[in-house]
Structure 1
């Protein structure tokens, strides 16, 4: 992702520092969109890729949503069996 000039990821150390500042533990999965958006706003990100993995061991599905941090609008979504 970092090789695509239009996209930048937040460095791990910066993200962990922001989580600490917001009182989010390192183990917090950010399973709620509101928590993920709050962290992204703190980091002054424009977009966030929110993802979840569901299903049983042999039948997992990843769901992803590209969201605008400013509005919370879902700009793209997709699901894929993994």
Structure 2
């Protein structure tokens, strides 16, 4: 998942590293519960281009430009350990 996300993010953010993607993905889950519903909706709109629901399942098309933007935003956030040490 990390490599796939990294490859997608590099299409719009060629300088993003695999490590930055990994750190961003690790930060999103604990952060999600703390977000206001409006911020959650903004992130979903940023990431999801289209959802097609069919009898055999759902297909979600991601917005690659949004993925790169989210990766940069999350990578810029100080980590929990870094905030605790400060």
TM over 0.5: no
Kindly indicate whether structure 1 or structure 2 has the higher relative contact order, using CA contacts under 8 Å at least 6 residues apart.
Answer: 2
Greater share of strand: 1
Please report the TM-score for the alignment, with normalisation by the length of structure 1: 0.37
Please report the TM-score for the alignment, with normalisation by the length of structure 2: 0.35
Greater share of helix: 2
